[in-house]
Every structure is written in C-alpha cells, then in structure tokens.
Amino acid sequence: MGTLLVLSDVHRSGPGEQARRGFDSQAVANPFLRTFQRAYRRHVWLNDPMAHDHLLGEILRRVPDPEWVVANGDFTLDTAFVGVSDDAAFESAAEALTELRSAYGTRLRCTIGDHDLGKKSFVGGAGGVRRRSLERCESDLGLPRLWQLDFPGWRWIGVTSTLAAWPVFRPETLPEEMGWWEAAHARHLLEIDDLFAGAKAAGVRTVLFCHDPTALPFLHRLPGVTAALPQIGATVIGHLHTRLVLRLARLLAGIPRIDWAGHSIRRYTSALSQARCWRAFRVTLCPSPTGVELLQDGGYLTADWPPSQGVVRFRTHVLPWSPGAV
C-alpha cells in the first residue's frame, strides 16, 4: 500500500507577478470598495499572497516519496486576472509545475484551476476567462483538460472545472470567444459523461478531482454521471482554500442566485443555489497550503492507496503558518 498526496491552490507568484504588489487594489476604482477589499485581505483572506511560495517546497519535503500525487489546480496567483495568457502568470505556473515534476515525475497528475484560465477580480471587475489561457495550459504547460487513471477496481478522473461550469463564467467571456467556449464546454461534458458511463459499465468505483465545486451541478445533470453516483468513492475539490468556506457553503446550499450585487456575488450564489448536489459526490476539500489569514489553517491531504476495504479516507495535514507582510 502506498500514499496518495493531494495539494491544491499553490498560487505561485514568480518574479513578474511579484513586481505587481497591490495588484488587486489597483483593479478597484471605487475608493470605498478599495478600502473594503484591503481590509478583507488583511484580516480575513491573505494579507500578502506573495509571501507563501515556500510552502510548496515544505510539502515536497514532508512527503518526498508518495506513490501518486494530484495537484488540483490554481498554479498561478493570476495578478492580471486573465490566467496564463498573461506572461507573468504563465511564468508563475511554469515555476510551480517544474518544482512538482522535478520532485514527482510520472507519479504526478494535474487538473486546471479557475485562476489558471482567468476570472474577474473579486472587486472591480478586471479580467475574465481567456481561450489563450486554456490553450497555453495544454500546449505549453502540459495540463490536460481531462484525464483518467485506471487501477484494479478504481478509476480516477480529473476534469477542468471552469470548462464544465462555463455557463457561470459566460458573462466574463470575451464576445469573440463565446462560440468557442460554448462548443468546448459541451464537448467536455460529453467526454466526462463517457468516462463515468464506462466506469459504471466496468463495475469500477471512481475518484473525481475537480478544482471548483461550481462544476458539480453541471456534472450531476449528465446521465452517465448520475448512474455512477453510487460508485463515487470521493470527490476532491480545491478552490475554497479553507474548511470554513466549505462549511458555510453547505449551510447556504440552495439559496437563490443574486444577479444585482456584482459579478462575484452572482458567481458565488450561482454555485450555492445548486450546491445541495455536492453531498452525492462525497466531497472532500483539499485546503490551500496557506489557508486563510483569519484561521491560519493551510495544508494538504494524504490517503492510503489502494484504499483499505474500498473506503477512501483522506487525512488533512496542517502546515505552519507564515505571516504575510504588514
């Protein structure tokens, strides 16, 4: 029996992104919103998101020889909010992936995160999803849109959550790219459905790796996925950074979507309005290495593989907090 290591939301900031300190405040024109954004980052989320790059190395030091490794998306800090179509963000992601591949080689599997593809800033509305980012993820960073890994009695499936949930990101898409994303979204869902249907037909159980749980309701509607739900052993998500957000999401599951309070609230409530289906996927959150400023609760996951008695049990490992600059 070996060890499966799962990490997520590395958010590396390479030299180009390090030169953009204050990037999120600079995206906000309204002074009141800028003050809110700074207070939220300082006291709740991350005061200095560029101060924690060493934590990836700490994970590699602590878990030097796992049997398998899954890095579940968001390799870049995304300071331009357009994913790795931005050269500085691409540099950051390439640094993180080089470090991971040097340590783990062919044992490593990676999914694509929302920040790797671009998304509008939390406040201010800068940026958005970009076709060029997905193309660079595939062609230059070697990150597949969809992957599978088969074991006796099991199938792992890794999906691109932004592509699966693209209708949520439609308002953040460039008009000239709209048709391309719509076709890619439809094709991605068909391919995912085929993988789950194949697992069902073969009588094997599945583990799903999906960065952003916003995608899960879209998968839940697919007939092959629905039929295979009883065979899902676990779904590993990232994106939320901390179990506090996961607990809040479960409490707020089913609230109506709010369209009048800006793009971030629209995006969050779109996910929460359909979040009751998360339970069927047996969701486990992989925290970010940093966690959040408020709780200092960052870390990573491990599990025994193959699982004992067919039950996947993930263990959360907490990393020592390294404070951001004041």
CATH, range 2-318? 3.60.21
Instruction: Out of 57-71, 79-93, 167-181, 241-255, pick the least confident.
Output: 241-255
Q: What is the 3-state secondary structure (H, E, C) of 205-249?
A: EEEEEECCHHHHHHHHCCHHHHHHHHHEEEEEECCCCCHHHHHHH
DSSP for 6-69 reads EE----B--HHHHTTTTHHHHT---HHHHHHHHHHHHHTS-S-TTS-THHHHHHHHHSSS-SEE
For the chain, what percent of residues have pLDDT higher than 70?
Answer: 95
Three-state DSSP class for residue 153: coil
Three-state DSSP class for residue 170: helix
Q: What is the pLDDT of residue 310?
A: 83
Three-state DSSP class for residue 176: helix
Return the closest-CA partner of residue 8 out of 313, 280, 317, 270: 317
Q: Which DSSP letter does residue 287 get?
A: P
pLDDT at 33 over 60: yes
Instruction: Out of 63-67, 78-82, 122-126, 140-144, pick the least confident.
Output: 122-126
Mean of the per-residue pLDDT values for the chain? Answer: 92
146/164 Cα distance (integer angstroms):
10
Other Cβ atoms within 10 Å of 152 Cβ, number: 6
Q: What is the pLDDT of residue 325?
A: 39
Sign for the pseudo-dihedral over CA of 103, 105, 107, 112: positive
Domain boundaries defined on the chain: 2-318
Q: What is the pLDDT of residue 23?
A: 84
pLDDT in tens, 275-288: 899 999 999 999 99
- Whole-structure pTM value: 0.95
pLDDT in tens, 186-197: 999 999 999 999
